[in-house]
Amino acid sequence: MKTSITRLLAGLALAGGANALLAAGAPAAAEPLAPAQVRLQVSAEAAGPVIEPTVYGHFAEHLGTGIYGGLWVGTGSTIPHTRGWRNDVIQALKRIGVPVVRWPGGCFADDYDWRDGIGPRSQRPVRLNKFWGMVPEPNEVGTHEFMDLVEQLGAEAYLAGNMGSMTPRALSQWLEYMTSDSRSSLAEERRRNGRDKPWKVKYLGIGNESWGCGGHMRPEYQADLHRQYVTWLHTPVVRVASGDGEGRDEVIDTLMARAGQDMDAITLHYYTVPGPSWEHKGSALGFTPEYWARALRGAMGIEARIEATRRIMDRHDPAGRVALYVDEWGTWHDPEPGSTPGFLQQQNSLRDALVAALTFNVFHRHTTRVKMANVAQMVNVLQALVLTDGPRMLLTPTYHAFDLYQPFKGATPLKLQLQTPRWGEIGKESGQDLPAVDASVARATDGRVWLALVNLDPQRPARVTANLAGPAEGRLLTAAAMDAHNSFSQPHALEPSRFEAPAASGGMVLELPPKSIVVVRVGEPG
C-alpha cells in the first residue's frame, strides 16, 4: 500500500512552486478574469460500448468507522436501523443507486476468515484488525449481514476472497456456503444460520494487492496461486484477479500471460495523493492552489495507467474477454487532525468532487475495458460519500458528484473533440499541465443526450461553445472556496444548484464558473 503510492507519485513528476499568498478560501482576484474560450464538437457516433453502471461502484472495508458506526450500528442501537444497518445512510445511498459493493477489504480481506463471521453474533470470535490500527474486530458484520446490506441497497455483491492467508479449500467452501442450493453440510449450515435461499454472488476477488498487503508475492507466483485458487470454484462467478497498483506494467503482463485464461477481470488500484510523499500527502482542507492543481493532475493521471494497462491486455486478450476493474480509486489525504491513527478519516471538499468527476470522464473514455470501478470508500474512510458522527450524518461533495453523474449509468459515450486552453497562472506556476475544461457526452438509456463539463481552473470561468441543440438543463456544483465542504455544523453548505443554458443559433453556449462541475441534458448534436 505504502510503496504503491510512493511509486505513483514518483511517476507523476510533480513540481514545486507553492503560491503561499493564495490559500484555500482566499478572496478571488478583484478584477473578474475573462473566461477561457472552449469549443466542443460532439458527434452522434458512439465512442465505445456502454458505460457500465458498475463503474459507479463502491468499496466498504472493515477499516476505522467504514463499517462499524458508519453503516452498521447493530440491532440494539437507538439510531434508526433495519436489522442493524443505519437507515439514514442506506436511504442516502439508495438515492444515488449503488450498483455493486466490494467487501470486506482491501488489506483486511487477506487476513479474513469467513468462518469468524457466521453463526450467532454473540459467539463470534474477536480478532485484531492487523492493518488498520490493531483494533478489536468483533465480527458482528459477517457474510449474512453483508448480504443483507447489498439486498437493502439493491446492489450486487463483490466479495474479496482471501488468497493471502487462507487455503483454496476455504475460498471454495465460502462460495459453496453462500450459493449452494444442495443438501451439502455447508448449505445446511447456512440454513441453520438463518438463510434458506442461496445468495447470488456475482463477483469474487481472488486476493487483494497481492504485491503488498495480500502476501508480498512476485507476479509469477501470484499467477500460479490464482490458477490454483480458481480451480475449485464450481459456482459461476466473475473471477477477479488482483492486478497492479504501483504503476508496474510487468505485473499485468505476467498475470495476463500466465493466468489470463483463468480470470474474467483484473484490477487496478489508483489513489490520488496531492502531496510529494506518503508522509506528506497534504491536508483535505486549507490547501493552496498548488495542491488543488496537484490533486487534479494526479486524478487525470489515471488515464495513462488505464491506457498502459489496456495496451498490455489487448496484446494478451485481443478479443477483449477480460475486463479491467479499477476496484480502488480516490483521494488519500493526511488524516483528519485528532482522528484515530489508522482509521483513514478525512474531510471531503469541492476538490474531491472534481477529482471524482474527472475520474468518471476518464472511465467514460475507456468503456472497452473498464467495466467496474469502486470508490475508496463508501462511508467515513478516504474519499467517502457519507460522513457520520454518532447519530449525525452528512453527504460529501463526492456524493453530489456521484448524484450529478447518475444519467451516465448505462449510457453510450459519444465521440467528441474538445479545444480547450491549458489553464491559468497557477497551473503554470506549480508545473501542472492541465486543460482548462474536461468533458464527457453520452446518450442515456432513454435516448436523451447528457453533457458533463468540469472547469478545473479555480480562478477563471470558462465559456464552452458546443454544436448541441439547446436548451441545456441540469445541475451545477461549485463554491467560492476551493475547500468548500459540508460539516456537522453546516451539513448543507455545499450542494448542487440548478443550471440552465438557453438554446442559441450557432451552437449552445455554457458559462461555467471557476472550479465547477456541470451536468446537463442537452439537445442533439448539430
Residue with cell string 503482463: 253
Distance between CA atoms of residues 519 and 310, nearest Å:
28
Distance between CA atoms of residues 82 and 72, nearest Å:
10
DSSP states of 250-284: HHHHHHHHHHGGG-SEEEEEEEE--SSSSS----S
Q: In Å, how far from its chain's centre is CA 225?
A: 27
Q: Which of 23, 79, 134, 53 is nearest to 412 (CA)?
A: 53
> Which residue in 151, 209, 307, 336 is the catalytic one?
209
By CB under 6 A, name the binding residues for ligand AHR: 1, 61, 105-107, 208-209, 328, 376-377, 382
Cell numbers linked to 181: 442450493
Nearer to ligand AHR, 1 or 357 (CB): 1
Q: Which of 307, 302, 494, 471 is nearest to 395 (CA)?
A: 494
Distance between CA atoms of residues 144 and 158, nearest Å:
14
Distance between CA atoms of residues 374 and 331, nearest Å:
13
Cell numbers linked to 193: 444460520
Nearer to ligand AHR, 241 or 522 (CB): 241
Give the H/E segment covering residue 354: helix 350-365
CB of 398 to ligand AHR, least distance (A): 14
CB of 436 to ligand AHR, least distance (A): 31
Q: Report yes or no: 199 and 147 within 8 Å, Cβ to Cβ.
A: yes
Cell numbers linked to 400: 453530489
CB of 108 to ligand AHR, least distance (A): 6
- Given phi > 0 = left and psi -120 to 50 = alpha, else beta, which region is 523? beta
Long-range pairs for 249-252: beta carbons < 8 A, 24 or more residues apart: 249/308, 249/309, 249/312, 250/219, 251/211, 251/219, 252/309, 252/312, 252/313
Nearer to ligand AHR, 309 or 430 (CB): 309
Nearer to ligand AHR, 162 or 173 (CB): 162
Hey, which residues does 311 pair with through a beta bridge? none
Neighbours of 320 (CB within 10 A): 12
Nearer to ligand AHR, 107 or 472 (CB): 107
CB of 58 to ligand AHR, least distance (A): 12
Let me know if 429 is a catalytic residue. no
Nearer to ligand AHR, 4 or 430 (CB): 4
Nearer to ligand AHR, 24 or 381 (CB): 381
Distance between CA atoms of residues 190 and 186, nearest Å:
6
Give just the sign of the alpha carbon dihedral 444, 53, 181, 321.
positive
CB of 271 to ligand AHR, least distance (A): 7
* One-letter-per-residue 3-state SS of 295-327: HHHHHHCHHHHHHHHHHHHHHHCCCCCCEEEEE
Give me the residue whose beta carbon is nearest to ligand AHR: 106
Nearer to ligand AHR, 106 or 301 (CB): 106
Q: Three-state DSSP class for 509?
A: strand
Long-range pairs for 319-323: beta carbons < 8 A, 24 or more residues apart: 320/368, 320/369, 321/264, 322/256, 322/260, 322/263, 322/264, 322/265, 322/266, 323/264, 323/265, 323/266, 323/369, 323/370, 323/371, 323/372
CB of 107 to ligand AHR, least distance (A): 4
Hey, which residues does 441 pair with through a beta bridge? 451
Let me know if 209 is a catalytic residue. yes
CB of 103 to ligand AHR, least distance (A): 11
Nearer to ligand AHR, 36 or 71 (CB): 71
> Which residue in 328, 429, 473, 524 is the catalytic one?
328
The Cα-based distances of 164 to 131, 216, 526 in angstroms read: 13, 9, 55
The Cα-based distances of 288 to 25, 72, 118, 285, 430 in angstroms read: 9, 36, 48, 9, 11
Nearer to ligand AHR, 288 or 348 (CB): 348
- List active site positions: 209, 328
